Amino acid sequence: ASFLLLCFRTSLVTPLILGLLLQPPLTQLSIITQPNIVLLMADDLGIGDVGCYGNDTIRTPNIDRLAKEGVKLTQHIAAAPLCTPSRAAFLTGRYPLRSGMDAINNYRVIFWNGGSGGLPPNETTFAKILQQQGYSTGLIGKWHQGVNCESRNDHCHHPLNHGFDYFYGMPFTLISDCQPTETPEMDRVFRRKLWVYTQMIGLITLTAALGRLTGLISVRWKTLTCLAGFSLLFFVSWFSSYGFVRYWNCIMMRNHEVTEQPMVTDRTTSLILKESISFIERNKHKPFLLFLSFLHSHTPLLTTEKFLGRSSHGLYGDNVEEMDWMVGQVLDAIDKEGLKNTTLVYFASDHGGWLERQDGNRQLGGWNGIYRGGKAMGGWEGGIRVPGIFRWPGVLPAGTVTDEPTSLMDIYPTVAHLAGGVLPQDRVVDGRDLMPLLRGTVEHSEHKFLFHYCGVHLHAVRWHQKDSGAIWKAHYVTPVFRPLGAGACYDRGFCPCFGEGVTHHDPPLLFDLSRDPSEAKPLSADTEPLFDTVIRKIGRAVEEHRRTLTPVPEQLSLYNAVWKPWLQPCCGTFPFCWCDKEGDN
C-alpha cells in the first residue's frame, strides 16, 4: 500500500516539476498582463533632430536611451503631414478622411477652440478601449481635436468624451500668437487682407463724407450712414475673432474647466511636466495610459531660461533639448515607482519638421535629415517619416532596429490588444498590431500598401514588395517648390494640396525607397524594367482602397472652421473671458 501511495505521489509531483521547468519565460507571461502605457508625442519634430536618428549636434540623451533599451523604427510613417489629421489617425487607427478629419479646402487643421469641427463622438479612440478595460487614462498637453459642437458646454469633441479620465493642457495648439512678444502666426496672410479691405472701406467712407461736406460729391447722408455702419460691422465681424486670438485659442484646461485664459507661457512647461509625473504617481497601483502630448517643438518654441543658449541650433535646438530633458524626467518617475518593467513607453512625432518656419536668418522649424520635404507635404518622406521608438524591458529586445514600414495608426491596435480590448467591428481599422514585429517573431510588417494624403487628396502610395525587399513609392501629385531649386514652399510658408501650387504626374513619379530613400532619382520605364508592372499594381491597390471609403461629415469644412462665439470656452461671462486659476500654485 505504501508503494502504491509513493507511486501516486510521484505521479502528481512529476508533472508539477515538469510544468515549472517548461513554464514560458517572463517575457511571454508579461504580455498576458496589462502593462502601463506611456505615449510621448512631440509636435513638429523632424526625424533629423534626434541623436539616435543621426543628429550629432542636438543633444537628446534620454530619447537615445529609449532607443538603446528598446526598438527603433526607421520607417515610421504619419498618416498626415499636419497636426489635426495626423493625431486623429493616431487616436483612431484610421486614415483621417474616414472620420472627416481631413480637409477639402486650405483649412487643414482645427483653427479655433470656438469652431464646431473636431473628432466625431462616434469615433472610438484607443483611450476609450483601454478605459473599458479598467485603465486609468490621462492626456497631458496638446489636444487639437476640437472642443464643442452646438453649445459652449457640450464638450462633444473634448478628451473626456473620447476615453480620457483626466485632461490637463491646451485644447488647441501652441502658436506664436500665444506669446505677446511674437509676430502673429495664425492665418497671417488672410489677416493682412482683412486689414487692407477694412482700410479700403474706411477710406471710401471717409472720402465720401468729406466730399459731401465740401460739396464735391452729391451723396445722401443716409447712404453715408449705411456705408459707415457697414465699415464698422465688417471690422467687428473679423476683429472680434482675429483681434483676440490669444484669449480665444491660447488657453489651458483641467478636465472641463478653463484654468488659464490666456495661458501664462512662462510656467506652461513646468505645469505639464508636474501634471504628467503626478498622474503616474496617482495611478501606480493599477494599469494606466498616459498620453503626454508635448507642446515642444512647435513655434513659438516655449523654452525655460535654464535651456536657453545651450544648443548649437539656436532656439529650436534649445527647445528640443528641453523636451528631451522632460522625457528623462518622466522615465525617472517611472523608474522611481518601480514600474519600468511593466510599462510600455513609446516616443514619436506627429509629422515632419516645418522647413519654411523662419524668422529672418533664424530657422525655427525642424530638420528632416536625408528625407525630402517637410510639414504639410503629404507625399514627400520629410513630411511624414518620423521618429518611432518602443521600450518595454524584458519583453522587447533592447537595441533593435527595424526598417519595416510602420504607421502611427499601428499604436491603436497594438495598445488595444495589450490591454485585452477588442477592436471595433463596424468600421475599417487601418493600423496593425506591431507586437509580433517588435518582438521579432515575424520578419515583415503587415502593411503592404500605405496611402499618403494631403487633405483629402491622394498624393502618393508606397508598396512594400516583401519578396524582393523593394519599397516602391508612386507620387501622383507633388507641391511646387519656390523659389525654384528650393526644397520647400518658402513663398507660401506652407505647401498646398491642390490648385496652382501643385504638379500632377501622369505617369506618376516612381522611386524605390530601399535604394533611394531621399527620393532624388525618379525611375522611368527606360531605367526600371518593372516600372509599368509596379504602376499598375499600385493603381489597383488605390482602386481597392477607395472602395473602402464611405462619405462622412467634413469636420474641417469652412462652416466648422470659422469661429463661433457661442462655442468659445470661457472662464468668465462671455466675452469677458480672463482667469488665472494656477496663480496660487
Q: Is the four-CA dihedral 460, 173, 308, 348 of positive or negative sign?
A: negative
Q: Do you find a cis peptide bond into 507, omega within 30 degrees of 0?
A: yes
Bridge partners, residue 488, by sequence: none
Report the C-alpha gap between 351 and 375 in whole angstroms.
6
Q: Which residues are catalytic?
A: 83, 144
539: which residues sit within 8 A by CB, 6+ positions away?
A: none
φ/ψ of 479, rounded to 5, equals -75, 155
DSSP-derived letter for residue 576 is B
The C-alpha cell 464735391 sits at 216
Report the C-alpha gap between 391 and 67 in whole angstroms.
7
| Nearest-10 crossing angle of helices 188-214, 221-242 | 160
Report the C-alpha gap between 60 and 63 in whole angstroms.
6
DSSP-derived letter for residue 55 is -
The C-alpha cell 537595441 sits at 399
- Spatial contact of 460 and 379, defined as CB atoms under 8 Å apart: yes
CA-to-CA dists, residue 144 to 38, 84, 208, 469, 472, angstroms: 19, 6, 46, 37, 33
- Spatial contact of 463 and 538, defined as CB atoms under 8 Å apart: yes
Name the nearest CA neighbour of 85 among 388, 455, 347, 384: 455
At 408, list the grid cell.
502611427
Half-sphere exposure of 156 (CA within 13 A, CB side): 18
Amino acid at 71: V
Greatest CA span in the chain, whole angstroms? 132
What is the C-alpha R_g of the chain?
A: 27
The C-alpha cell 517619416 sits at 385
